[in-house]
Structures are given as structure tokens and as C-alpha cells.
Chains A and B, each alone.
Chain A
């Protein structure tokens, strides 16, 4: 069961929208697919504009590199610096300490994202 207070992108990013603050991360499904995370490359700086659907960084595992895609439009207010020191936080706590960005968003942000139930259906068919 994915956390029920989040919204999800098809590309396995999650968005937690609380007023005009949106926290962004990747799901436990994504983390389980990757295993062995060695590096998280978050390109935005505080103040940068984020456009939904565009890549904002990379997550690298022993076997492969995957792009990270912005689930919402907004302005970056915080980048998780802890991941530069310990990228394994993403694997250990994908919904907690492994968050990636905090973004200032407008009203209605994330409306086009999937509900927990829809995302769960998606990953049930993807499987592994």
C-alpha cells in the first residue's frame, strides 16, 4: 500500500501537497526496481522554476541511471542535501528522509497526477 496522502506520476515520482508547499520524492516501487542506489543528482537550485514532466535530475544505481521527472510546476524552495552525503536514504525512506525537493506550487497543482489507487493499479501490472 502506498501512502494514501500522496499523488503519483506514471514515472514513479510522488507529490505531497500541503497548501502551497509540495514535497517530491520517488516511490518504494521505484526504489525496489533500482536497488543499489549509489548517487542522486538533483540539478535544481533554490529559486529555479520546475516544469511538470521535465527531468530535474538522475538517480544512479549499480546497474543503471534513471531520470527524475518533475510531477508538478513550481519554484524550488529546498533541495535535500542529505542525499549528497547518503544516497541510500532514498532506498531506506523513500517517503520520509529520502525526499528530493520541496516546491512552491499554485492552487490546483498535482490535480492531473494519479491517486494512490490508480498508481497501485499501474504498478500491479508492471510488477517484476
Chain B
């Protein structure tokens, strides 16, 4: 039996097909993945993301500790601002991709469920006498994402603070039914929307309110097809301890001029060596190119697929892959070996999907 979020009973009672994900029992889907995916692109989808790690940093050494392990610049965050960045090992490989939140008296960090314990240990190991009280709030809280063009409007009068007032990648502390809550204009789908943190006892009530307003429950299956269309990387696929941020196309999240951080020197060194780089692929047929499939130009293997799926929005098969740097040219005919058969493919610009303004 894995860890269970505060919404576990709801998932099971409503037909959620439960699987183990990073040690948590999570729903892959309730109806069909395509239906759940489309509800996010056209209306509002609801995701239980309580399994993600929620850490808090209090004390005068907090910013310094974060700056020491984080590739982006946390020092330039405004209050309520949220910023994406990487945590790297000393070889320049990625230990996790994270969001950092700046609050009046503390910092927050949201980490992947699969890396929670690893990152907590890394933070303690990196502390070096800094005055920081680090707390893992994950098991005390619930986190729910509402994503889609109808999401913001659907949030009216749920939390005291109206997220329509938030800019993209900003957050606010507020209340939900009188209790402390956090609402951020962030997400992992490529649509507008929010992520809300409440005390675990309030998770089911908050979830039920959004369901009553017409949000459609979505599982991990749709979460994957949505993020892949938006070309957002997934740890364990595009990102891992042997891959550096630049080859993953995340150079924008690395600020070399902000000072020292763990992995900085190694990332700079790796820039001098050609290594495979992330690209998007569109396939001609409908067979899905899954993780591990070889990417070829003629007989030559030039790369490997890290994520692949069917894109309901584009009605085609898409993938992200890491290919030899000289093979990044858009439109050149390639193939992907899908279970022994070479499927026609070509490099395309990322993202595959971008929401309208």
C-alpha cells in the first residue's frame, strides 16, 4: 500500500484507476484520458497534486540556502512571485525541477513527489551552518490544480483572494473557509489556472466544491498528455541526474550571473562538450513512440525518445527526444524504432501546443 492523499477515497469511489506513482496511490484516469485531456483544453480540469512535495524555509539563512542549490535567481523574486528552476548535483546533472515561492516571512518550494526525500536530504546536506528551519509540509496539506480556460472564473468566491487578480506565476496567501490557504497562478498543462494548497482536512471539501461547479476530475494519464503537448519536461524522462539543464533546453532557468550554486562549474564545463539535446518530434503514423525508442537517420542511431504519446489536441503522435546536436534541424526526415518497425518522424519546433492569448 502506497501513501494516500486526502482525496484517495474520492478517487476510488469515482472510478479512478489507481496505480503506484512515486510511492503514492494515484488515479491514472476516471473515464478516458482523451476526454479528461480535452476538458482541460476547453473547460476546467481538476487534478489532485497532493503527492507533490511542499517544503518551507524559515530563518535568515533561507534565501542563501535556496540560492546555493537552485539554478535560477531567487533573490530577484517579488513577494508572492513564483519561479521555476533546477536543483543540480555537483556534476551538473539535474536532481529535480522545482518552483520557488517568495512570501513575506518565508520561502516555499514545490518539488516532484519522486524526489521529495532526496531533495530534503540534499537541502540538509547543503545547509553548512546557515540559520534555516526547513519543514516538509506535504503530509499535512492537500494540493489541487484547476486548469483550463474556465478555471479562473470557476474560482470566484472559493478562496478569499480572487486569483483573477494574480499575474502568471504569482501567488497569494489567503483563506479557504476561514483557514490558511495558498493560491498560485501556475500549472503543468499549458492552460491558465491555479494550484491551491489547503490543510489536508479541507482537501475533500475543496475538491467537492470544484466538482460541483463542473470541473472534470483528471488523472495522471491526462496530466502527461497535457504537459507533453506543452513541451514541459518530466523528471525521470527529460530530466535526470545525468542530464544538465542546457541540453534539456532549460538554459532560461539558469542564471550564471547570480552567484555560486551547486553544479554551476560543471554545467559551464559541460557546455564545451557536444551532448544530445532535447527536441520535439512529430510522427507520421499513429503508433506511439515510447520512452527508450531509438531515433534514427537512415541506419544511424542519433538519439532516444524520452516521452511519447498521442496528442488529442493536434490529433497526431508526438514525442520529446534527445538527439545528437547536429541532428536538430527542423523538417529533416527521421525515423523512430517503435517495437522493431521504423516509423517516419521529423523534428518540430517546441512547444507542440501553445494556448491562445
Contacts and interface: CB of A to CB of B under 8 A. Distances in A.
Given A41-B287, A87-B286, A63 B317 contact: no
A62 B286 contact: no
Interface residues of A, number: 12
29 contacts: A35-B29, A35-B31, A35-B32, A36-B32, A36-B33, A36-B221, A36-B310, A38-B286, A38-B287, A38-B310, A38-B317, A39-B286, A39-B287, A39-B288, A41-B287, A58-B339, A60-B287, A60-B288, A62-B33, A62-B221, A62-B225, A62-B288, A62-B310, A63-B33, A63-B221, A65-B288, A65-B339, A87-B286, A128-B17
A128 to B, nearest CB: 6
A62 B29 CA distance: 11
A101 B221 CA distance: 31
Please name the 5 residue pairs, one residue from A and one from B, whose CB atoms are nearest each other, closest first: A35-B32, A39-B286, A38-B310, A36-B33, A62-B33
B88 interface: no
A60 B317 CA distance: 12
B28 interface: yes
Nearest to B286: A39
A32 B339 CA distance: 24
Interface of B: 17, 28-29, 31-34, 221, 225, 285-288, 309-310, 317, 339
B339 to A, nearest CB: 7
B288 A38 contact: yes
Given A36-B310, A39-B286, A39-B287, A63 B28 contact: yes
- Most B-side CB within 10 Å, residue of A60, A62, A65, A87: A62
Nearest to A40: B286
Contacts of A39: 285-288
Contacts of A65: 288, 339
Contacts of A63: 28, 33, 221
Contacts of A38: 286-288, 310, 317
Contacts of B28: 63
A94 to B, nearest CB: 15
For the residues of B in contact with A, the DSSP-based class is loop
A49 B29 CA distance: 38
Contacts of B32: 35-36
A29 to B, nearest CB: 14
Interface string A54-72: 0000101011010000000
B160 to A, nearest CB: 39
A47 B207 CA distance: 56
Contacts of A87: 286
A36 B222 CA distance: 11
Contacts of B31: 35
A41 B339 CA distance: 12
Nearest to B34: A36
A36 B311 CA distance: 11
Contacts of A62: 33-34, 221, 225, 288, 309-310
Nearest to A84: B286
A31 to B, nearest CB: 11
A87 B272 CA distance: 47
A39 B310 CA distance: 10
Interface string A22-60: 000000000000011011010000000000000000101
* Most chain B CB atoms below 10 A, which of A58, A60, A65: A60
A88 B174 CA distance: 46
A112 B336 CA distance: 40
